[in-house]
Structure 1
Amino acid sequence: MSDKPDVTEIEKFGKSKLKKTETQEKKTLPSKEMIEQEKQTGES
């Protein structure tokens, strides 16, 4: 028996069965200005 997993079912899977989805960014990174503002309010 080999250490590799059995991928025969994966090889048979048709990509046409998958649905196309649109990804949406849920959390955006703060801008440099926002970071500076947070630093200033934290120091007071």
Structure 2
Amino acid sequence: MCDKLDLSEVEKFNKKKLKKTNTEEKNMLPSKETIEQEKECGKTS
């Protein structure tokens, strides 16, 4: 491998051409019932 990376393309990159996006984080936590069901399955196996 080469010791020096070729960054010429990175230097030419134009961030202004990127589209704006809205990110929406979804962090769905399991319900109390689901947790209890998982606990029961763990005990039987």
How far apart are residue 15 of structure 1 and its match?
Answer: 0.8
1:39 match: secondary structure? helix
Query: Where in structure 1 are there 5+ consecutive unaligned residues?
Result: none
- Cα shift at 1:17: 0.6
Counting matched residue pairs gives 40
Please provide the CA RMSD for this pair: 2.6
Determine the structure 1 residue equivalent to 2:25.
25
- Identity of aligned pairs, percent? 55
Structure 1 residue ranges (4+ consecutive) displaced by more than 4 angstroms after TM superposition: none
Where does residue 12 of structure 1 map in the other structure?
A: 12
TM-score scaled by length of structure 1 = 0.51
